[in-house]
Amino acid sequence: MVNVLLRLGVTEHFGVPILDVDMVMGSLENAMASTGGFCVGRSYVVGHQRLSGLGYCFSASLPPLLATAASEGLKIINEQPERVARVQRFAVAVHRGLEAAFEGSNFEVQGVELSPMKHIVYNGDDAEKKLDALVDRLFDEASIMITRARYLERDELYPVTPSARLMVQSEMSEDEVERALVAIATIVEDLFIYPSHSYLLCCTLLNLCLYLDLFGLDLCYSLDLCYSYKELISSLFLPYVLVLILLHIALRLYLLPYLPFS
């Protein structure tokens, strides 16, 4: 990513001498908000590219408007280096905020902290549905737009992990970053953590039923059984018995599907 990680990009980031790399490729699509890119390298590599790429100069070249936009973007970055520092600061804050928001769930953020591009993956069943739900609900409920990463899977050499892509911008404010993280944490909790809460509630209700069974008050299976024990309980406790029956109905109709063994 051009001029975003560090001044020389990924080679400087990982401490690799630039002369040890045969070809360096830069994308203008993300940091420059344009399309296309560039390749630089040793003379024999560049010569091969020139020879093999002549047929594409007119059919797949960068439109003048986008080339001008990318050139102007590079000029702005060079003249205003504080933009790079600001987007790096926000990128680190968002990365750590996402890690905190995803703690205890199957969601995970991938990528380098300094990179403004974050890939959100779901390590579990129905990953596509979970990621689609996250993208849709962020837009509908919080007016925050992230997108699904799309690939030509048949052309990929290795299997592609489904992900949602989140981009950090230098023009964002700290309030916007905080609001986005809160919205993501809230939706992730609803998408993943809520079933575990239901599971704990199920366990609590089942333990309560077992506790009543120990005293011969088998009150959680049917209304007939409830009335069969009406001689053992006073009218004062009857409303609580009815509440237990309603909880049992809710347990069967709604909560049990969230149990791991269902």
pLDDT tens column, 39-92 = 888 888 888 888 888 777 777 778 889 889 888 888 888 898 888 889 889 999
Domain match, 54 and 21 both: yes
Q: Which residue has the higher pLDDT, 74 or 226?
A: 74
Q: What is the pLDDT of residue 251?
A: 61
Domain match, 106 and 52 both: no
HSE toward the beta carbon, residue 136, CA cutoff 13 A: 7
User: Would you say residue 39 lies in a domain?
Assistant: yes
DSSP letters, 88-139, are: HHHHHHHHHHHHHHHTTSSEEEES-TT-SEEEEEE-STTHHHHHHHHHHHHH
Q: Domain range spanning residue 23? A: 1-79
Indicate if the pLDDT at residue 33 is higher than 50. Answer: yes
User: Would you say residue 258 lies in a domain?
Assistant: no
Cα 160-163-166 angle, rounded to 5 deg: 135
pLDDT band at 231 (very low <50, low <70, confident <90, very high): very low
Domain match, 99 and 173 both: yes
Domain match, 19 and 100 both: no
Q: What does the alpha-carbon distance between residue 7 and residue 112 come to, in Å, rounded to a whole number?
A: 16
Q: Which residue has the higher pLDDT, 37 or 123?
A: 123
Domain match, 177 and 114 both: yes
Domain match, 91 and 146 both: yes
User: Would you say residue 261 lies in a domain?
Assistant: no
- Domain count across the chain: 3
